Amino acid sequence: MSSSPNLPHPDRSEISLTSVLFALSDPERLAIARQLVDGPLDMAECHLSNPDVPKSTKSHLMKVLRTSGVVRNEANGRGRRLSLRREDLDARFPGLLDAVLSAADGNAKP
């Protein structure tokens, strides 16, 4: 787990539609976003569907979610706290997050 206290996040106005779509286009990243629907979680509480994913891969998934503006990732004691940037995303792209999160997975062809 990174110990950088303040990781960079895009401002609301900088959040790009295509970057958000890309961040949510990976099944593991989408699953992480869905875990945050009911509120923030510590990074250690976020589980990947594939438990064999290396820590470095998990870090990279988290970085894509953060730099796209989907997730806020803040220092919280010794760990990190993840939260969905719902208010920012709803303001930028009305209806998008709800449509994605409420959609059936439908990964017949991943």
Closest distance of CB 3 from its own copies, Å = 26
Task: Select 47 or 93, whichever has its Cβ closest to its own copies.
Answer: 93
- Subset of residues 65 to 104 that bind its own copies, contact rule: CB under 8 A: 92-96, 98-100, 102-104
Q: Which residues contact 13 (CB under 8 A, 6 or more apart)?
A: none
- The CA distance from 19 to 2, in Å, is 23
Residue with tokens 């990732």: 73
35 binds its own copies (CB under 8 A): no
Query: What type of residue sits at position 23?
Result: A
- The CA distance from 90 to 5, in Å, is 27
Contact call for residues 63 and 10 (beta carbons, < 8 A):
no
Closest distance of CB 42 from its own copies, Å = 25
Closest distance of CB 43 from its own copies, Å = 22
Give contact residues for its own copies (rule: CB under 8 A).
10, 13-19, 21-22, 24-27, 30, 92-96, 98-100, 102-110
